[in-house]
């Protein structure tokens, strides 16, 4: 299975060179567009992973992609957050945003297409290193029905990595879902 993490290794360099306006400040609109391009890439990568995993052909519909990529979280979508961080001149916040949104889009897309491919269960996977947060280590290798919710020991719940209510359970998460029929 291919993950977008290899591409993320180049994100900081990308963000340092994100479009700037004539005053040398980050250009909020163009920064949001750069992030959108990467999220579309991530969506297609997740879709292709499910097709390969299950040996099926699944149609990509623009409205499905839009719904996942532009998901409103705490009253804002990624574009609003990207514009805010660019306006404030915070490339490190843009890095966190891109990493977090990439993981969320990847996992939500995988879940969406796994359902269409006939998967029956999902399993929470971690990177199994010392950077895995305790609340996610708690979920490691937990298998649930496709429509089940993962609950951390702090009571936060999500259908997939990146979908929690508490920001500390989403930011920089590198977990992913695995699927079986």
Instruction: Express as a percent the part of the chain with pLDDT over 90.
Output: 76
**What tokens appear for 76 in the block?**
């804002």
Least confident of 6-15, 68-77, 93-102, 165-174: 6-15
Structural domain boundaries enclosing 37:
5-180
3-53 confidence digits (pLDDT tens): 555 555 555 556 556 788 888 899 999 999 999 999 999 999 999 999 999
Contact 42, 8 (CB under 8 A): no
For residues 135-151, average pLDDT: 97
For residues 68-88, average pLDDT: 93
Backbone dihedral angles phi then psi of residue 156, each to the nearest 5 degrees: -80, 145
- For residue 49, the model assigns a pLDDT of 94
85-131 confidence digits (pLDDT tens): 999 999 889 988 998 999 999 999 999 999 999 999 999 999 999 99
pLDDT-derived band at 2 (thresholds 50, 70, 90) equals very low
Helix axes 62-69, 91-116, angle to 10 degrees: 140
pLDDT-derived band at 169 (thresholds 50, 70, 90) equals very high
**pLDDT higher than 50, residue 60:** yes
How many structural domains compose the chain? 1
Q: Which distant-in-sequence residues (6+ apart) come within 8 Å of 122 by Cβ?
A: 111, 114, 143, 144, 145, 146, 148, 160, 177, 178, 179
121-141 confidence digits (pLDDT tens): 999 999 999 999 999 999 999
Q: How far is CA 87 from CA 29, 31, 80, 93, 102, in A?
A: 10, 10, 11, 11, 21
- For residue 20, the model assigns a pLDDT of 84
Burial 49-76 (b: 16+ CB within 10 A, else e): bbbebbeeeeeeeeebbeebbeeebeee
For residues 136-164, average pLDDT: 96
Q: Write down the pTM of the prediction.
A: 0.91
- SS3 call for 144: strand
């Amino acid at each position: 299975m291919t993950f977008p993490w290899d591409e993320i290794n180049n994100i900081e360099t990308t963000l340092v060179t994100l479009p700037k306006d004539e005053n040398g400040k980050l250009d909020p609109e163009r920064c949001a567009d750069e992030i959108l391009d990467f999220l579309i890439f991530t969506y297609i990568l997740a879709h292709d992973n499910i097709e390969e995993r299950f040996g099926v052909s699944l149609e990509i519909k623009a409205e499905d992609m839009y719904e996942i990529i532009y998901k409103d979280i705490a009253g804002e979508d990624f574009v609003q957050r990207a514009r805010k961080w660019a306006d404030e001149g915070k490339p490190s916040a843009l890095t966190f945003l891109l990493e977090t949104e990439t993981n969320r889009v990847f996992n939500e897309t995988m879940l969406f297409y796994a359902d269409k491919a006939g998967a029956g269960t999902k399993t929470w996977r971690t990177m199994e290193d010392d950077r895995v947060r305790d609340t996610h280590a708690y979920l490691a290798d937990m298998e649930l029905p496709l429509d089940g919710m993962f609950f951390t020991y702090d009571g936060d719940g999500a259908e997939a990595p990146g979908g929690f209510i508490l920001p500390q359970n989403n930011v920089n998460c590198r977990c992913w879902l695995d699927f079986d029929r």
